Structure 1
Amino acid sequence: MDFVKDTLKTAVDAGYYNRDFARNTWAKSYERLGFAAYRKRDAKDTRYCFVRALAFQPAFIANTGILSLLFEATFGKHISDYRKVLWSCMRASLAKLRR
């Protein structure tokens, strides 16, 4: 995260710094770290990074990929797979009702 701090200092010097820029920079950084932690199968860091990313940028709640990985890191792979199957069945049922 030192790189992010250095980047924000450079942005201040260049005149590009504002709160939105800082929040987006932190959020994107934590998002990328969350994906990296997930690839390493580090559930604790995955949870921490994705929750921090959501705190800095609540719009990430619309990103179902982040939510899915956060759910898996929180509850485990087995429960996450069960949720995916259940959700798939619910969507199929709703599609049949709409016909």
Structure 2
Amino acid sequence: MSNIVHVDFSARKSERAFSADVYSYCMKKYRFQVVAASITEAYCAFVAEAVIHGVNVIRCIAIYFGLADQRDKRQVPARVWQQLDPVAGRLVEY
């Protein structure tokens, strides 16, 4: 006897709120929030929003679950990307 589990992969993921603290190269802090289907989609939206606000080089992005004004002071980020080498210019995920 076998157990069969039916899964519908065509269903769209539910969207949830994300907020982020984005730090420019001079360590100026920007706070953004977005509703997205995944943390990767939220990351791309935060980078695009930072560019719109004039951030040319991003030093660090810390993404949190939930809205910025509802964030607990002790809440840890869900994901963090940090620029280790300013010459290379790429962000490393932690």
Fold equivalence (TM over 0.5): no
Of structures 1 and 2, the one with the larger relative CO (CA 8 A, separation 6+) is 2
The bucket for the TM-score relative to the shorter chain is under 0.3
**TM-score, length basis structure 1:** 0.25
Q: Where is the helix percentage greater, Structure 1 or Structure 2?
A: 1
